[in-house]
Chain A
Amino acid sequence: MQNEWLYIGIFLVIGIIVPIVPLVFSRLVAPRKPNPIKQSTYECGIETVGDSWVQFKAQYYIFALVFLVFDVETVFLFPWALSLKQLPLFVVMEGVLFIAILVTGLVYAWRKGMLEWA
């Protein structure tokens, strides 16, 4: 069990090293002649106006809120799904009830017009 996660850890380390190798190699081989025009931000040839890190309106932020609720609650479904074979039908129906409550939340958000592109 511990060895499995040791394996994953080593895998992650090598997985990060592998893409760095061609980058380092490219650094050694490729020419480097930076100048301000070359490094300027690309905007189809037009000169950049203002900072890029401005505030955008993320129109889907309400979707993101609904997503958060669902994402947390789907995690609870995994233990239920795993022990389904051992559980009596009554407990399975309780899980179904849990999903029904989730769906009620979705229907509520839908009826409230939250699932519309604002």
Chain B
Amino acid sequence: MLFLNDPINFISGWLRGLLTGWGLPGGLMTVIIYFIGITVLIVFAMTLDILLVWVERKVVARFQDRLGPNRIGPFGLIQPFADIIKLIIKEDITPAGADKLLYNMGPVLAIASVIVLWAILPLSAKIFGVDLNVAVLYLVAAGALGTLSIIVGGWASNNKYALLGAFRMVANMISYEIPMVVALLIPTILANTMSVQGITQAQSGMWFAILSPLALIIFLISAIAELGRSPFDLNEAESEIVAGFHIEYTGMKFGLFYAGELLHAFTFGGFIAVLFFGGYGGFFGLEKIGFFSWLNNPFVQAVVFLAKAMFGYWVIMWIKYSMPRIRIDHMLGFNWKFLTPLALVVLVNTAILSKVLVGLPNWGYVLGMLFSNIVIGFITVEILRAYGRKQRKAEAKPAPQSAHNQEQAA
């Protein structure tokens, strides 16, 4: 019963007792217990990653009206394992003139940058790596590490396409880091803490997705851009630069980039769940009623969290397979002229309203926040529509004239 209520403390307490019996000093014991716990967590993440390959291939197949993998095992579930075997026994070709150290570092960093994010991912109130009090900043820092892996890999390949891919990734990063950080400030303000556990618990009554839907949208867009997924997959645009940064990678090194991208997308789905959808909790107070007290069980919470993360991952996939790639200058313009000002407006709005509405009862606070977000969203859409109308008018006017000129010239 104790194991079901608090598995981590149960096992670590048991291990501590065992190791004390062996006469190990306390410091070493802590390191060993951390080591075992981290290994279990990472093995879980990597197993999930293998399953994600299957999920991704199956879902994209359905989007494109195909069947997807269905030959090996039930529903093709064994397919990713067959893929891994194939990737491992493929020859690993290092291009001539590549910077060997950095070339090998790229794929390793791609996986490592995602795995370190799992250290702060709260699977449930009792099952989590560590509850940092600067978790939000840690998320931004580890995300930048993933970008670094792409830049390093692209630069070290000694290939012009790969270098172009790396260059575009830099453009991607300088576009989307600012809206992402500003969007992260909003859960911080609403929860009054940067720790992921604190943010989760602050949402037990009301999701931040309802308090500030605009922040959710901004964070989702910038997360997709940070992942380098379509519509922001400029760094590997197949029709322009073949495969971008991983053009020279073969065998398992390519596999690591691919696996890293999928796990990164899932992890960001998890962070969207934590920051905006209440993470493992967020049942609107349902778990306080005696009948639903089983919702507080750590394993149930972990299942709820993984389901929410999978939903976020699915939305990211949905966007990836429905949107065409956007041009690089449009991407920079979209960020600097639209997303950044909007993010700053939402931030100011949240800061002032959380101060002004503090005296109101809970429903007034929620309605005020939601209503202000809807008003800002409406004004934004109206400004965009007016701009679009102006653009179309400007395009429509000179067009017949120039056609006339050409006729005369002919």
A residues with a Cβ closer than 8 A to B are 3-4, 6-8, 10-12, 14-16, 18-20, 22-23, 25-27, 29-34, 36, 38-44, 52-54, 56, 58, 60, 63-64, 66-67, 70-71, 74, 77-78, 81-82, 84-85, 89, 92-93, 95-96, 99, 102-103, 106, 110, 115, 117
CB–CB A11/B38 < 8 A: yes
Contact of B112 among A6, A7, A19, A117 (CB under 8 A): A19
Number of inter-chain CB pairs below 8 Å: 206
CB–CB B89/A30 < 8 A: yes
CB–CB B355/A8 < 8 A: no
Question: In the bound complex, how far is the Cα of B84 from the Cα of A60, in angstroms?
Answer: 38
Question: In the bound complex, how far is the Cα of B86 from the Cα of A29, in angstroms?
Answer: 11
CB–CB A92/B352 < 8 A: yes
Question: In the bound complex, how far is the Cα of B253 from the Cα of A20, in angstroms?
Answer: 10
Which residue of chain B has the shortest Cβ distance to A12 in the bound complex? B116
Question: In the bound complex, how far is the Cα of B247 from the Cα of A33, in angstroms?
Answer: 20
Residues of B within 8 A of A4 (CB): 130-132
Residues of B within 8 A of A10 (CB): 31, 34-35, 38
Main secondary structure of the interface of A (DSSP, over half): helix
Residue B368 at the chain A interface, CB threshold 8 Å: no
Contact of B88 among A3, A12, A22, A70 (CB under 8 A): A22
CB–CB B111/A18 < 8 A: yes
Residues of B within 8 A of A77 (CB): 182, 185, 347
What size tier do the contact residues of chain B reach? 35 or more
Given A26-B87, A26-B92; 10 other pairs, CB 8 A cutoff:
A7-B119, A8-B116, A10-B34, A14-B35, A30-B90, A39-B93, A41-B96, A52-B160, A63-B174, A71-B178
CB–CB A19/B96 < 8 A: no
CB–CB A67/B177 < 8 A: yes
CB–CB A96/B89 < 8 A: no
Contact of B119 among A11, A22, A95 (CB under 8 A): A11
B residues with a Cβ closer than 8 A to A are 30-31, 34-35, 38-39, 42, 46, 84, 87-97, 104, 107-108, 110-112, 115-116, 118-119, 129-132, 136-138, 155, 157-161, 163-164, 167, 170-171, 174-175, 177-178, 181-182, 185, 188-189, 192-194, 242, 247-248, 251-253, 255-256, 328-329, 332-333, 336-337, 340-341, 344, 347-348, 351-352, 354-356
Which residue of chain B has the shortest Cβ distance to A93 in the bound complex? B352
CB–CB A95/B46 < 8 A: no
Which residue of chain B has the shortest Cβ distance to A84 in the bound complex? B189
Question: In the bound complex, how far is the Cα of B97 from the Cα of A74, in angstroms?
Answer: 40
Question: In the bound complex, how far is the Cα of B88 from the Cα of A40, in angstroms?
Answer: 22
The distance from the CB of A50 to the nearest CB of chain B, in whole angstroms, is 9
CB–CB A7/B34 < 8 A: yes
Residues of A within 8 A of B182 (CB): 74, 77
Known A27-B92, A106-B336, A106-B341; judge A70-B178 contact (CB<8 A).
Answer: yes
